């Protein structure tokens, strides 16, 4: 294992941001930055020749400071959508900034993806990574309570990128953390992921309305375009989704916000059949958001202009808008409890 630091850029306030890179003995490497606790790179060695970048992102800080679709960001305090930017904590109505029409997306306009985290490298013979920490004060983006939060990225000699979250609070608050990586196993900038084969081991998904807010139903995937229980190309049934997949799948029926009651479970496999590059996803989270980059047209990353469906996201998380959906698993963290979640990305060459 090797760990490296290099200057990535400087914030408008004059704070230097370092790129922290971890490489294992097989040539796999990832890089993160403290701005947004962001995954900026995931390099997949082909066996010979140069490594292939399979994660969309930027080579300088400037791209992340501007508007972008959460490339590799740590998203919080509450990932996905909150209907009407409002929810109850007990009998008190809490309002948070609306940044997607009348709704709140990914913690608001200045959520965790727009904050500078503290970073600490750690390393060992078989595992090395970066530990990010920050304090989210009471009232940040309208959310109640001071939250002490940790996000840990690590790489093993078994070619596993592991992302772990831990948090504690001083008053009741909702929490839902995820990483918003955009994957293309054929190589970032290589074009559409519609030919990628996806297996998603979920019997139910979360139907949404025209604003992508859950209807409250958990619907079986049986006989629908949402069924990925057997591997199939992402594009096979996409025309039946009205623009693409942007839906949360239920992968753990029993999930708790404050402890890992759910076991680490294999939930998805993504493969580019042309190259044989693939990724298994295992997680303790209640759900996983399948997003096929339906609004990527007009965005740019290190490779240049991007188009619709040039990447796919598999965002392990709690169910969206859960604080407003009585039938969904609890997302409120209480003082004295510890929020813990873990997701593993296991890379392989078929």
The string of pLDDT tens digits covering residues 196-235 is 999 999 999 999 999 999 999 999 999 999 999 999 999 9
Pick the catalytic residue from 68, 106, 180, 345.
Answer: 180
Residue 254's pLDDT is 60
- The answer to whether residue 180 is catalytic is yes
Given a contact cutoff of 8 angstroms between Cβ atoms, the answer to whether 214 and 319 are in contact is yes
Selection from 155, 164, 147 nearest residue 26 by Cα: 155
Give one word for 47, left, alpha or beta, with left for phi > 0 and alpha for psi -120 to 50: left
Q: CA 303, 309, 100 angle in degrees (round to 5)?
A: 100
Q: Which residues constitute the domain of residue 61? A: 2-349
pLDDT tens by residue, 53-66: 999 999 999 999 99
Residue 83's pLDDT is 98
CATH of the domain at 233: 2.70.98.10
Residue 50's pLDDT is 84
Q: Would the pTM count as exceeding 0.85?
A: yes
Residue identified by tokens 């019997």 is 203
Number of domains in the chain: 1
Residue 238 DSSP class: G
Residue 46's pLDDT is 78
Residue 292's pLDDT is 98
Pick the catalytic residue from 140, 247, 315, 345.
Answer: 315
pLDDT tens by residue, 311-324: 999 999 999 999 99
Residue 164's pLDDT is 97
- The answer to whether residue 160 is catalytic is no
Q: Which residues in the chain land under pLDDT 50?
A: none
């Amino acid at each position: 294992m090797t760990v490296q630091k290099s200057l990535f850029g400087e914030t408008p306030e004059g704070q230097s941001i370092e790129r922290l890179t971890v490489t294992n003995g097989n040539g796999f490497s990832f890089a993160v930055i403290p701005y947004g606790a962001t995954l900026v790179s995931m390099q997949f060695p082909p066996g010979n020749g140069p490594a292939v970048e399979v994660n969309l992102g930027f080579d300088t800080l400037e791209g992340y400071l501007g508007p972008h679709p959460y490339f590799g960001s740590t998203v919080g305090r509450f990932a996905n959508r909150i209907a009407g930017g409002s929810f109850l904590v007990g009998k008190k109505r809490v309002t948070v900034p609306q940044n997607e029409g009348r709704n709140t997306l990914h913690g608001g306009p200045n959520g965790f993806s727009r904050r500078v985290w503290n970073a600490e490298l750690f390393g060992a013979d078989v595992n090395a990574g970066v530990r990010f920490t920050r304090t989210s004060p009471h009232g940040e983006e309208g959310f109640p309570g001071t939250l002490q939060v940790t996000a840990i990225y690590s790489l093993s000699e078994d070619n596993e990128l592991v992302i772990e979250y831990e948090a504690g609070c001083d008053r009741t608050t909702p929490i839902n953390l995820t990483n918003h990586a955009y994957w293309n196993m054929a190589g970032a900038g290589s074009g559409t992921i519609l030919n990628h084969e996806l297996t998603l081991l979920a019997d139910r998904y979360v139907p949404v309305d025209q604003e992508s807010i859950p209807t409250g139903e958990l619907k079986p995937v049986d006989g629908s375009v949402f069924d990925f229980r057997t591997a199939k190309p992402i594009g096979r049934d996409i025309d039946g989704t009205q623009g693409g997949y942007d839906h949360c799948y239920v992968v753990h029926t029993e999930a708790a916000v404050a402890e890992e009651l759910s076991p680490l479970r294999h939930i998805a496999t993504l493969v580019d059949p042309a190259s044989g590059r693939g990724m298994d996803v295992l997680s303790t989270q209640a759900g996983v958001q399948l997003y096929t980059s339906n609004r990527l047209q007009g965005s740019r990353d290190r490779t240049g202009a991007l188009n619709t469906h040039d990447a796919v996201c598999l965002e392990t998380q709690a169910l969206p808008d859960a604080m407003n959906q009585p039938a969904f698993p609890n997302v409120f963290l209480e003082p004295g409890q510890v929020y813990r979640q873990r997701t593993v990305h296991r890379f392989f060459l078929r």
